[in-house]
């Protein structure tokens, strides 16, 4: 087996947030102020995803904007939220268009009609009180949120890796996304909106390996799974070669390789930046999770061993 990388060797690392809100739905900052805040903090791309509301925004000099919105739908009787992102340069929706999905049948119909032209992502499955059986029939999602910072920070239920891990074991190839889902509440606190205790911005993101710094290259990388999710640590490289997995990363205290089997390989210590270990019986996929001494985590997408 030759060396297989979890992202291409060539390209640019780009940082982005794919879930955010403004005063056009239930956020507390105007669209311009939210977008500007992320641009000023060095994000390379950003999606403002207001609830059931489609909008495009004027291009920014330093940050790429990805048109999208958060669609409220149903899985059975349970309310779910799906982010919808434009893949191409032309939209089938009009500026200011609103959406109102009434049941699961309409949810399925919407996904089926638009899945070729839009990317669908499942948001905060834990916060939505879902069970795996609620989502197992949906193979149209390119990814789901393994970390929704807003619901994790406020409510402690934003970590959705159970759904992701279970889906992988059952053959789904969902990617792992981390987002802010920021609403910028607690407006009466000192330091609002970004210096207060209730600040829910800039806590979780994805790093995309794109061929170039364009919206189309970012979309292509998302579809291909060429990214990782993080609340802090950096994955510099992650490879599989001749039955061994290897990772190089920023300093962390835990490095964990896992696959479809429960038997894991791990390394614990201080300022760890490298780990190499055998696959140990995993034949479907292998992925890595790294955790620093503050509990901040990065999740790689899997390397699928049957594709090697």
Which pLDDT tens digit goes with each residue over 180-234?
A: 999 999 999 999 999 999 999 999 999 999 999 999 999 999 999 999 999 999 9
pLDDT of residue 281: 79
The boundaries of the domain holding residue 290 are 232-308
Measured CA to CA, the distance from residue 32 to residue 49 in angstroms comes to 13
What average pLDDT does the segment 165-187 reach? 97
Yes or no: say if 64 and 46 are a contact pair by the CB < 8 Å rule: yes
Domain shared by 34 and 156, yes or no? yes
Within a domain: residue 153?
A: yes
Q: For residue 234, count other CB atoms closer than 10 A to its CB.
A: 16
* CA gyration radius, the chain: 19
Q: For residue 46, count other CB atoms closer than 10 A to its CB.
A: 26
Yes or no: say if 303 and 296 are a contact pair by the CB < 8 Å rule: no
Within a domain: residue 100?
A: yes
Within a domain: residue 1?
A: no
Domain shared by 59 and 207, yes or no? yes
Domain shared by 138 and 164, yes or no? yes
Measured CA to CA, the distance from residue 217 to residue 209 in angstroms comes to 9
pLDDT at 166 over 70: yes
What average pLDDT does the segment 264-291 reach? 94
Domain shared by 245 and 162, yes or no? no
What average pLDDT does the segment 35-41 reach? 99
pLDDT of residue 29: 99
What average pLDDT does the segment 258-266 reach? 85
DSSP codes, 89-122: SS-SS-TT-B----SHHHHHHHHHHHTTTEEEEE
Domain shared by 181 and 308, yes or no? no
Within a domain: residue 298?
A: yes
Domain shared by 197 and 215, yes or no? yes
Yes or no: say if 102 and 123 are a contact pair by the CB < 8 Å rule: no
Domain shared by 139 and 158, yes or no? yes
Among 21-25, 238-242, 278-282, which is the least confidently predicted range?
Answer: 278-282
pLDDT band at residue 255 under the 50/70/90 scheme: very high
Domain shared by 101 and 154, yes or no? yes
pLDDT at 1 over 80: no
Nearest alpha-carbon partner for 144 in 221, 222, 211, 261:
222
pLDDT of residue 217: 99
Domain shared by 51 and 193, yes or no? yes
pLDDT band at residue 129 under the 50/70/90 scheme: very high
Within a domain: residue 2?
A: no
What average pLDDT does the segment 129-150 reach? 97
What's the CATH code of the domain at 275?
2.60.40
The pLDDT tens digits of the residues spanning 53-74 come to 999 999 999 999 999 999 999 9
pLDDT of residue 283: 86
Give the position of tokens 């999208």: 68
Within a domain: residue 295?
A: yes
- Pick the last residue of a domain from 184, 205, 229: 229
What's the CATH code of the domain at 12?
3.20.20.140
Domain shared by 254 and 219, yes or no? no
pLDDT of residue 307: 79
pLDDT of residue 261: 82
Yes or no: say if 152 and 167 are a contact pair by the CB < 8 Å rule: no
pLDDT of residue 308: 72
- Residue/partner pairs of 31-37 with CB below 8 Å, 24 or more apart: 31/55, 31/57, 33/193, 34/182, 34/184, 35/60, 35/63, 35/65, 37/193, 37/194, 37/201
Domain shared by 240 and 293, yes or no? yes
- Pick the last residue of a domain from 170, 200, 229: 229
pLDDT of residue 263: 66
Domain shared by 222 and 243, yes or no? no
Within a domain: residue 284?
A: yes
Looking at the structure of the chain, the number of domains it has is 2
Within a domain: residue 109?
A: yes
The per-residue pLDDT of the chain, averaged, comes to 97
Q: Tell me the CA distances in angstroms from 146 to 31, 72, 205, one per residue in order.
A: 25, 19, 11
Coil, strand or helix at 306:
helix
- Pick the last residue of a domain from 185, 200, 229: 229
């Amino acid at each position: 087996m030759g060396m297989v990388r979890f992202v291409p060797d060539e390209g640019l690392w780009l940082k982005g947030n794919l879930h955010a809100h403004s005063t056009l739905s239930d956020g507390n900052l105007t669209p311009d102020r939210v977008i500007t805040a992320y641009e000023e903090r060095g994000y390379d791309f950003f999606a403002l995803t207001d609830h059931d509301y489609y909008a495009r925004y004027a291009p920014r000099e330093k940050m790429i904007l990805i048109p999208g919105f958060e669609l409220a739908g149903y899985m059975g009787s349970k309310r779910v939220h799906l982010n919808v992102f434009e893949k191409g340069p032309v939209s089938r929706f009009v500026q200011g268009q609103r959406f109102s999905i009434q049941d699961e049948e309409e949810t399925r119909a919407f996904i089926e009609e638009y899945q070729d032209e839009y990317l669908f992502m499942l948001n905060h499955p834990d916060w939505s009180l879902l069970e795996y059986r609620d989502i197992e029939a949906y193979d149209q999602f390119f990814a789901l949120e393994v970390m929704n910072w807003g619901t994790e920070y406020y409510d402690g239920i934003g970590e959705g890796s159970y759904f992701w891990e279970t889906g992988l074991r059952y053959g789904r190839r969902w990617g792992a996304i981390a987002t802010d889902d920021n609403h910028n509440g607690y407006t009466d606190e000192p330091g609002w909106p970004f210096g207060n205790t209730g600040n829910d911005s800039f806590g979780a993101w994805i790093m995309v390996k794109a061929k170039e710094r364009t919206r189309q290259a970012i979309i292509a990388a998302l579809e291909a799974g060429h990214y990782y999710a993080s609340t802090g640590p950096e994955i510099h490289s992650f490879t599989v070669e001749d039955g061994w997995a290897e990772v190089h990363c920023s300093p962390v205290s835990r490095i964990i390789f896992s696959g479809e089997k429960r038997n894991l390989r791990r390394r614990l210590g201080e300022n760890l930046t490298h780990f190499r270990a055998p696959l140990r019986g995993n034949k479907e996929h292998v992925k890595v999770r790294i955790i620093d001494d503050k509990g901040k985590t990065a999740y790689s997408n899997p390397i699928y061993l049957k594709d090697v």
